Chain A
Amino acid sequence: MKEPEKAPPAWLETIRLEHVPETHSVHVAVFKDIENAEFLHQQLLGRNADFEYAFIDASSVVSRLQVLSAIFKSITVQLNGAMKTPNIHSEIVSSLSPTKNISEAYRRYGITPTSKNIIVVRVLISPSTLTAEDVEKHLVDNVQGVSRPLDDKTLSGFTDWSKIRKYYKLNGVGWVDALKDVGVKSKEMEMLVLGGMSLRGL
Chain B
Amino acid sequence: MTDDTEPQQFPLPAILTYPSSKTPELITQGAEGRLYKTTYLLPSVPCALKYRPPKPWRHPVLDARLTRHRILSEARVLVKCRREGVAVPAVYAVDEAAGWLALEWVAGAPVRVGVNEWLRRRRDSERAAGRGGDAVVTGDAPGDADLVALMRRIAGALGRMHKVGIVHGDLTTSNMMLRPWGEGRERPANGHAGGQGDGLLEGEIVLIDFGLAGQSTSDEDRAVDLYVLERAFASTHPRAEALFSTVLESAYREAFKQAPIVLKKLEEVRMRGRKRSMLG
Contact = CB atoms under 8 A, between A and B. Distances in A.
Contacts of B94: 198-199, 202
B38 interface: yes
Interface in A156-202: 170, 172-173, 175-176, 179-181, 183-184, 191-192, 194-196, 198-199, 202
B7 interface: no
B38 A19 contact: yes
Contacts of A176: 85
| Majority SS at the chain A contact face | helix
B42 A68 contact: yes
Contact of B42 (A18, A181, A198, A199): A18
Given A20-B19, A198-B93, A65 B41 contact: yes
Instruction: Give the bracket for the number of chain A residues in contact with chain B.
Output: 20 to 34
B32 interface: no
B82 A192 contact: yes
A129 interface: no
Instruction: Give the bracket for the number of chain B residues in contact with chain A.
Output: 35 or more
B19 A22 contact: yes
Interface stretch (B73-81, B132-140, B192-200, B235-243): B73-81
Contact of A195 (B40, B83, B96, B182): B83
A173 B18 contact: no
Nearest to B72: A202
B92 A18 contact: no
A25 interface: no
A181 B185 CA distance: 7
Interface of A: 17-22, 65, 68-69, 72-73, 76, 79-80, 82, 170, 172-173, 175-176, 179-181, 183-184, 191-192, 194-196, 198-199, 202
